Amino acid sequence: MKVIGVDLGGTNIKAAVVDRDKGIIEQVTTPTQANLGRDHLLDRIAETIKDLIKKNDIVGIGMGMPGMVSKDQTTVNNPPNLPGWISVNASKEIEGRIGIPCKIENDANIAALGSMHFGAGQNFDSFIMITLGTGVGGGIIYERTLFKGTQGMAGELGHVIIDYHGPLSNSVTRGTVEAYLGQRFLSRFATDLITQNPGNPLYKKFANDFDKMEPVDITNAANQGNELAMEILAKSGQRLGYAIINYVHMMDIRKFVVSGGVSKAGDYLFEPAREIVRKHMMEPFKEGFELVHEELGNDSALLGAAGLAFDSFS
């Protein structure tokens, strides 16, 4: 059984033919050109998919994209970086251009589906995916099904408040999870600490332009024994731990899969999170708790979009 998975980003459209058993067997990438308008972009998506359909028997299309997606997985509202997309039934638009059924889903939920079908989430009936990228997103899998909430918008884990006196992020209030663990916000926090330690190698490397410093640089420094880098990641990991406690206490789901660029810090981030959980989570919730890293990497979005198609059209 083969489907098309599409990852619609602000810069590129990625599409792949995915076999349920073999995974990705062919993929292509084309520039998004979102600035040329909604209809132009929809046409580009369709043309990208058509090239893959010519050589394969496809039963359905799944597409991941930014923005809030309706519960029936057809309509996206106000997606960032896509000018002119106010409220678009992207499912209907793609189906009309290609003649193959299509479902869409928020990109963080897509990551959860990718993990469930092809990654670390295969081992769990229920788990929460946390994506630590430019921002912080999430997806909730309950009994092998994506939990969407009443209107389809559940899983905005990055906007959970852990300190209302804390720093700002893209949320409407201070001190959200994203303000501590999103890529650019973690870098901002790191900059504040590094500038107080001008003798540190990270200061010497980035003093002329801290905007170039990314979490991977902090992880690399930690791997080289930089204690300040380890402290920065540990403090971020502690915030992750407190966020996880909130999620567990609300959902009674004890398995967590973490992905995204920031997650590459691995145990520099995860062990402090686990320690916070051990110390502060209510005792009855600790049984069965697991926190693991998702290893799918750059393919996770395409595989998750394919998972959406498998779930919808098999």
Homologous superfamily of the 123-295 domain (CATH): ATPase, nucleotide binding domain (3.30.420.40)
- The pLDDT tens digits for 65-80 are 998 999 999 999 989 8
pLDDT tens digits for range 228-243: 999 999 999 999 999 9
251-274: average pLDDT? 96
Query: What are the residue boundaries of the structural domains of the chain, listed by start?
Result: 2-113+299-313, 123-295
Q: What is the pLDDT of residue 56?
A: 86
b (16+ CB within 10 A) / e for 193-204: bbeeeeebebbe
- In DSSP terms, 64 is beta-bridged to 7, 105
Q: Which tokens in the block code for residue 18?
A: 């995915």
CATH 3.50.50.60: does it fit domain 2-113+299-313?
A: no
Task: Measure the N-to-C terminal CA separation of the chain; round to a whole number of Å.
Answer: 8
Q: Each residue of 87-110: pLDDT tens digit?
A: 999 999 999 999 999 999 999 999
pLDDT, tens digit (0-9, with 9 covering 90-100), for 174-194: 889 998 898 888 888 899 999
d(CA 216, CA 264): 7
102-106 and 61-65 beta bridge pairing:
parallel
Q: Average the pLDDT over 127-135 and give the result.
A: 92
Q: Cα torsion for 155, 161, 162, 163, to the nearest 10°?
A: 170
Q: Could you say which DSSP state residue 99 is in? A: S
**pTM for this entry:** 0.92
CA distance 172 to 168: 8
Supply the pLDDT for residue 111. Answer: 94
- Beta partners for 103? 62
Topology agreement, domain 2-113+299-313 and domain 123-295: yes
pLDDT at 201 over 90: yes
How far is Cα 80 from Cα 265, in angstroms, rounded to an integer?
27
Tell whether the model's pLDDT for residue 170 goes beyond 80. Answer: no
Kindly indicate the confidence band of residue 269, based on its pLDDT and cuts at 50, 70 and 90: very high
Please enumerate in sequence order all residues whose Cβ is within 8 A of that of 204, keeping only pairs 6 or more positions apart, or say none: none
